[in-house]
Amino acid sequence: MKNAILVGIAALVCISAFCDECWSSGFRFDGSEITEEAIILKPTDPLAYSSALAEGEPKSLTINVEDTTNPEISASVFADYSETAVEGTETWDYTDEDFKDFPTDDTYLLTETVTSDTDSKVLKRTVTILPEPMGLLLIAFIGALILRKRTKSLIAVLAIITICSFNAKADSCVSNVNCMQMWPFDRSVIINYTLTSNSAEPVFDVKFYGSFDNGETTFDLAEKGTITRDGANGTISGTGEFKTIWTPDESFYETHSDDMLVKVEAKEKTPPDSNTYMVIDLSGGTNATSFAINYLDDVPEGGWTEEYKTTKLVLRKVEAGKFTMGSPEDERGRYDNEVQHEVILTKDFYIGVFETTQKQYELIKGGNPANYQGDARPVEYVSYNMIRGSDKGSGWPANSDVDSDSFLGVLRAKTNQAFDLPTEAQWEYACRAGTTTALNNGTNLIGVYDDSNMNMLGRYCYNYTDGKGGYSEYAHTTVGSYLPNAWGLYDMHGNVLEWCLDWYQSDLGSDPATDPKGNTEGRYRLLRGGSYNANAAGCRSANRYYYAPSDGIGSIGFRVLLVP
């Protein structure tokens, strides 16, 4: 009996040694509002501090590293600062060097002096090196060796150690999670972690959670602030060491904790199957009797060139799944018609990588109704009735018929595929691409009107002068000019509003829904995504618009969808 107990104890110790290290160790968190911030080491770097104490460009950075625990330890962790290992105290001087990430891995005291033309400031930071999993295993083995009295017991312990360690290593994908807040110079929290996989080219869905009560209750960091750098859009490709930055929002100004924890949660995504992209050849135009359809497993070498925005129409396969539709009550710019509820989509679908362009519309339907002309710009001044038809095409959701002379009627006839507009739920699911934040790059709004994150994602009323896509007028621009979401879809925020199938209803309710189709009747049809004349809040993933189906204006376009 005693032997069995010893074996069990050893097994549990070993499992804990090799289990997925999702939670960080506790660290001091101070959410007070910053009144004096640190120097910008390199203004162009996204990890640079947010404002300057010393005016002018920093000329040098001197870092003193003092081992406060054991001066004989070789601190190779500081390879970011120097190619040589450190013992005791060392000083390096940098001039015109890129910003160096602070190691957050036993305790070292870093004293940094930044000097500019006009000033010199001293910053201090304490960092800790965490024990390696093999060290924990060694402790477990030594403990079992001390306790055992018979050779058979030791053999059994070693066998279980081996089995548990291999199994745990095979199942684990997150490890070495550690955090540090950049207080008092920055409220942001740096989250370091390691992702591993047996796959050649793994892709992970990642989420970040915090806790102030030792993990009993948690909160989603993305919903309580801004996530940047690795995993900002909820996805990470590849393995190795990663660094994510969480900047808490105003709700944490009065929040303090001497033992905050952060959890990194990662799930490896199933590799995409073949036929990830559907490509329709429109080059024959209105004279063609049919449009050929081909498939691609990945984005072509060289990216989506002009032809994929004009003479070809490309759609991306989106797998069925569930998500939370709507927005949390504390989201900036939120409206009351965005009540959160769970939605399950049971069918895969293809959706346009880009908004339908003027050249694509012309080749399919003939003519170009757009006011702001450009082959690769989104077509606008298109009503719901022009896309689906005002006769049979007005029947959704009772049926999915379209008028034969409508845009979709022609496209269906020449491809023998039932193309349509997305439902509101399909559109938001595709836009979010696994995110739960206001914007689909995993960030929340900093400003309701002008927002730096929105500047990267689409054309809206505060960045029309940036010249992206070749246009700086107060109008839409070339599709694909801004960053895509995690699923490779462009302009889901801004550029032009996009028609959805559903009749508008102001109260979606909080009940779960499966493949929702909206109201059975109504006066207005839904649009999503915001446009070039909307502010940042108007371009959020959950924001909802509505117009009469006969309306067509310069800020309304669409993208196509197919349920195969």
Run of H or E including 294: strand 293-296
Rounded to an integer, the average pLDDT of 211-222 is 92
**Are the C-beta atoms of residues 423 and 510 closer than 8 Å to each other?**
no
Q: Give the span between the Cα atoms of 493 and 371, in whole angstroms.
A: 20
Average pLDDT for residues 265-287, to the nearest whole number?
87
pLDDT at 533 over 60: yes
**3-class DSSP state for residue 137?**
helix
Listed range (98-112, 194-208, 409-423) with the worst mean pLDDT:
98-112
116-135: per-residue pLDDT in tens?
555 555 554 443 433 333 33
CA-closest candidate to residue 357, choices 441, 455, 280: 280
What is the number of alpha carbons within 13 Å of residue 320 lying toward its C-beta? 9
For residues 173 and 206, give the distance between their C-alpha atoms in angstroms, rounded to a whole number: 11
Largest CA distance in the chain: 89
Taking residue 111's Cβ as centre, other Cβ atoms within 10 Å add up to: 15
Report pLDDT for 273. Answer: 59
Handedness of CA 518, 492, 326, 498 (dihedral sign): negative
Higher pLDDT, 114 or 448: 448
Predicted pLDDT of residue 120: 58
Q: For residues 110 and 514, give the distance between their C-alpha atoms in angstroms, rounded to a whole number.
A: 54
Average pLDDT, the chain: 79
- Name the band, by pLDDT with cuts 50, 70 and 90, for residue 382: very high
Q: What is the pLDDT of residue 84?
A: 34
**Cα(78)–Cα(84) distance, integer angstroms:** 8
Task: Name the burial class of residue 171, with classes exposed (0-12), middle (13-18) and buried (19+) by CB atoms within 10 angstroms of its CB.
Answer: exposed
Label the pairing between strands 120-127 and 203-211: unpaired
- What is the rounded CA–CA span in Å between residue 438 and residue 462? 17
Banded pLDDT at 100 (limits 50, 70, 90): very low
DSSP state for residue 303 in the 8-state scheme: -
- The residue ranking higher by pLDDT, 299 or 167, is 299
Residue 250 has pLDDT above 90, yes or no: no
Query: What is the C-alpha to C-alpha distance for residues 169 and 158, in angstroms, rounded to an integer?
Result: 16
* Beta carbons within 8 Å of 157's beta carbon, 6+ residues apart: 6, 7, 10, 11, 141, 144, 148
**Contact partners, residue 140, CB within 8 Å, separation at least 6:** 10, 13, 14, 17, 161
**Of residues 372 and 232, which shows the higher confidence score?**
372
pLDDT tier at 2 (50, 70, 90 boundaries)? very low
Mean of pLDDT values over 224-246:
89
- Asked whether the beta carbons of 384 and 422 are under 8 A apart, the reply is no
What angle do the packed helices 2-18 and 133-147 form, to 10 degrees?
Answer: 170
For 318-355, give one letter per residue: b (16+ CB within 10 A) or e: beeeebebbbbeebbbbeebbbbeebebeeebbbbbbb
* Res 272: pLDDT: 53
In this predicted structure, the answer to whether residue 488 has a pLDDT above a threshold of 90 is yes
Question: In the chain, pLDDT over 90 holds for what percent of residues?
Answer: 59
Q: Residue 316, SS3? A: strand
Beta bridge partners of 267: 205
Rounded CA-CA distance 253/35 in Å is 12
Q: Binning pLDDT at 50, 70 and 90, where does residue 268 land?
A: confident
Does the N-terminal peptide bond of residue 397 adopt cis geometry, omega within 30 degrees of 0?
yes
- Pairing, β 174-181 against β 189-195: antiparallel
Say yes or no to pLDDT of 554 above 90: yes
Q: Token digits for 140?
A: 């477990």
- Hey, what are 216's tokens? 């009993």
466 with 519: CB under 8 angstroms?
Answer: no
Interatomic CA distance for residues 491 and 354, integer angstroms: 7
Q: Is the pLDDT of residue 83 over 60?
A: no
Number of residues assigned to the chain: 564
- Does position 38 have pLDDT exceeding 50, yes or no? no
Amino acid present at 420: D
Residue 462 pLDDT class (50, 70, 90 cuts): very high
Residue that has been written with the tokens 């047996």 in this structure: 198
If you ran DSSP here, which 8-state letter would residue 393 be given? G
Q: What are the distances in angstroms from CA 269 to CA 173, 203, 292?
A: 12, 6, 31
3-state secondary structure of 461: coil
Q: Which residue has the higher pLDDT, 396 or 108?
A: 396
Residue 165 — pLDDT band, cuts 50, 70, 90?
very low
DSSP 392: G
> Is residue 201 very low, low, confident or very high in pLDDT (cuts 50, 70, 90)?
confident
Task: With a cut of 60, say whether residue 114 has pLDDT above it.
Answer: no
- pLDDT tops 80 at residue 555: yes
Helices (H) and strands (E) in the chain, counts: 8, 25
